[in-house]
Chains A and B, each alone.
Chain A
């Protein structure tokens, strides 16, 4: 089981801030493929991966990063701080 959290328009599009996902995905990209296959709202949120960023256990990562040992995956659009 892995905690998946969503922020900003990704959260709005999926309609959830956080969920526990039963997944054996080896990489972030594989997890995204599983989520996309679930429902239209996930497919819409993950339609364009280049418009998204990912953090693994609160550290920015790449979509080809492995998920072994990771407890929390966060998906969000490019940040707009400052």
Chain B
């Protein structure tokens, strides 16, 4: 299990290539990458704030929960903070398992929990100013399925 909370950009392809490699017990790797999307067509940047003392600990707890619920060989979470521009990779998760069902389910679980339980806050910066991204009820509701 590896968790990285970082400001620096990363290459999700390179991370995926190295993940779960060189093992004989991994038959399935699922990766997900989240990118900065611009719905308004006028976004200049996305500013991501976090709670440094809590972030890594919260993500570790979520990842440990995933590893307890599914049979995973490995899990990876990388999440950025700071100022990002449209199209940049914000974060990725990767899960490795013997079979794909565990890898897919664990990756979805990680994404659902990272959205609503990891201490990040997004702010959109545009020509008319700044606005905090509001949490969606659907994101909170998504936790109930687990």
Q: What class of interface size applies to chain B in its complex with A?
A: 20 to 34
Interface-facing stretch out of B10-18, B23-31, B94-102, B115-123: B115-123
12 contacts between A and B (CB under 8 A): A5-B51, A8-B132, A55-B54, A59-B54, A78-B116, A79-B116, A79-B120, A79-B135, A80-B115, A80-B135, A81-B117, A81-B120
Most buried by B among A72, A76, A80: A80
User: How far is the CB of A8 from the nearest CB of chain B, in Å?
Assistant: 4
B111 close to A (CB within 8 Å): yes
A79-B116, A81-B79 as given contacts; A58 in contact with B122, CB under 8 Å: no
Q: Judging by beta carbons under 8 Å apart, are B135 and A60 in contact?
A: no
Q: Judging by beta carbons under 8 Å apart, are B140 and A78 in contact?
A: yes
User: How far is the CB of B112 from the nearest CB of chain A, in Å?
Assistant: 8
User: How far is the CB of B124 from the nearest CB of chain A, in Å?
Assistant: 11
Q: Judging by beta carbons under 8 Å apart, are A81 and B53 in contact?
A: no
B interface residues with partner A (beta carbon < 8 Å): 34, 49, 51, 53-54, 57-58, 79, 90-91, 111, 114-123, 132-135, 140
Most buried by A among B51, B115, B117: B51
Report whether over half of chain B's contact residues are helix, strand or loop; otherwise say mixed: mixed
Q: Judging by beta carbons under 8 Å apart, are A76 and B111 in contact?
A: no
A interface residues with partner B (beta carbon < 8 Å): 5, 7-9, 55, 58-60, 72, 74, 76-82
Chain B residues with Cβ below 8 Å from A8 are 49, 121, 123, 132
A76-B119, A78-B135, A79-B119 as given contacts; A7 in contact with B111, CB under 8 Å: no
Q: How many Å lie between the Cα of A54 and that of B132 in the bound state? A: 18
A80-B133, A81-B79 as given contacts; A74 in contact with B118, CB under 8 Å: no
